[in-house]
Chains A and B, each alone.
Chain A
């Protein structure tokens, strides 16, 4: 049975038969997450992404002293290019991950206080940018401008936010 999981033809053969569902269960090394658990996990992720979206638009006042937020220059995370990190960042004179670039923007264009790079807020900001770019090819070090992702509707992810801006 173990080989079946790698052999499409055999698998299909089985799937056609009544044993298909049994074979699928058999290939897992441990008990899979239940649908309810997976839904919980996805909800947790989207809550963090949604928090990131609010932070991106100014919900943490410590990130800015001049009123600017990430979203001013990066609507829909355009030109944030999370899929190109880590890369050489001239402003930092180092190869840096996205979170260091986010902190550079907080400190310089926004004249705010850098976040702890392992803080929940930083995780949320990263989650928002990366989630919008989901499915994009990972290209660390890529420096040529890439087009932003086309967000078709809503906020770009399946969630129900207020839709309101958060700046005061």
Chain B
């Protein structure tokens, strides 16, 4: 992506006379550079004042005192606090806790409380299925929200809702939590945001003009990446349909513990590094294989983990810059991913 960094918008526009050419050029160098969006931004002039925010996610805190994942989340908070310029806010995209226990959520809230900027949070499955979100809601409020900031509309949804597999089976809350904890559990079934949140989203965006920049946060990706590991959201097609009227939507998610990018029409999606451990890439042929980071070195306890900064507005439109704790990025990823 170093090519993109050196080119100004004028060069881009000169290089790519049409969206088709731009798309072809992006594919030809192995990665989508967001050229189409760039041209579009030029023509529509959306009123986005350039700013940035940070994403921290998937800390998976255990109840064990002084656990290594506590230190990892503390490192993430320090890293974000040290950013200059400071991000306007931080979004946490789920899985503060490992087993959904209140003490784990409290520990996470305390560590995240050291952030110098405001925090918005959505839940992950590890936060939720011990008490069905009771402790989480008590600490972090509603899990479905939206707000506007500097011309951008932000939405957060709870994407980890599954059909009831526990009542019929007579499972205890702990058994329900344990089942949800296992990534490859054959029991729990696919996640989604479900009808109530789809309604929320429909109403939430009804009055927004198509030129409004929209950023949506979910724990799981809003595309069928690898359903077996719930690297998916069952009603993502409905979400994308609701948001199809907008010129450009950016979807940012946790859960996958890895760098990953995909794009559908007006909808671009990027995954986030965790602070706990990296998941391996699943056996899937990707449209954008360049968005894979290096395979992690198990001997380096920080490899494949980190935080990310999302910059919006200005020439680039949107840029996700991964901030790994170790040297985990390929040269392609080091300059960030256009979204």
**Once the chains bind, are B181 and A148 in contact (CB under 8 Å)?**
no
Number of A-B contacts (CB under 8 A): 85
Q: Which residue of B lies closest to A65 (CB)?
A: B64
Measured between beta carbons, the chain A residues less than 8 angstroms from B177 are 165
CB distance from A131 to the nearest CB of B (A): 14
* Also in contact, A153 and B185, with CB within 8 A (given A66-B62, A90-B299): no
Please pick, from A90, A148, A165, the residue contacting B282 in the complex, using a CB distance under 8 A: A148
**Once the chains bind, are A73 and B184 in contact (CB under 8 Å)?**
no
From A66, A71, A73, A155, name the one whose CB has the most chain B CB atoms within 10 angstroms. Answer: A73
Q: Which residue of B lies closest to A167 (CB)?
A: B178
* Also in contact, A71 and B184, with CB within 8 A (given A91-B298, A109-B298, A149-B283): yes
Measured between beta carbons, the chain A residues less than 8 angstroms from B278 are 73
**Once the chains bind, are A75 and B229 in contact (CB under 8 Å)?**
yes
A126 interface contact, C-beta 8 A: no
Q: Which residue of A lies closest to B292 (CB)?
A: A145
Measured between beta carbons, the chain A residues less than 8 angstroms from B180 are 165
**Once the chains bind, are A78 and B282 in contact (CB under 8 Å)?**
yes
**Once the chains bind, are B298 and A145 in contact (CB under 8 Å)?**
no
* Also in contact, A147 and B283, with CB within 8 A (given A67-B67, A75-B229, A153-B186): yes
A residues 110-168 in Cβ contact with B at 8 Å: 145, 147-151, 153-156, 163-168
**Once the chains bind, are A166 and B178 in contact (CB under 8 Å)?**
yes
A105 interface contact, C-beta 8 A: yes
Measured between beta carbons, the chain A residues less than 8 angstroms from B280 are 73-75, 78-79, 148
Measured between beta carbons, the chain A residues less than 8 angstroms from B67 are 66-67
Q: Is the interface of A mostly helix, strand, loop or mixed?
A: loop
Measured between beta carbons, the chain A residues less than 8 angstroms from B179 are 163-165
Size of chain B's interface in residues, with CB distance under 8 A? 33
In the assembled complex, the Cα of A79 lies from the Cα of B281 at a distance in Å of: 8
CB distance from A128 to the nearest CB of B (A): 12
Measured between beta carbons, the chain A residues less than 8 angstroms from B68 are 66
**Once the chains bind, are B178 and A164 in contact (CB under 8 Å)?**
yes
In the assembled complex, the Cα of A79 lies from the Cα of B292 at a distance in Å of: 14
Q: Which residue of B lies closest to A109 (CB)?
A: B298
Measured between beta carbons, the chain B residues less than 8 angstroms from A109 are 277, 298, 301
A100 interface contact, C-beta 8 A: no
Measured between beta carbons, the chain B residues less than 8 angstroms from A166 are 178
CB distance from B40 to the nearest CB of A (A): 35
In the assembled complex, the Cα of A167 lies from the Cα of B180 at a distance in Å of: 11
Measured between beta carbons, the chain B residues less than 8 angstroms from A21 are none
**Once the chains bind, are A75 and B183 in contact (CB under 8 Å)?**
yes
Kindly list 4 other residue pairs between chains A and B, CB separation below 8 angstroms, not including A73-B280, A105-B298, A163-B185. A66-B62, A73-B278, A163-B187, A167-B99
Q: List 10 A-B contacts (CB under 8 A).
A: A65-B64, A73-B277, A76-B228, A79-B280, A109-B301, A149-B283, A156-B184, A165-B181, A166-B178, A167-B99
B interface vs A, CB < 8 Å? 62, 64, 67-68, 98-99, 171, 174-175, 177-187, 228-229, 277-283, 295, 298-299, 301
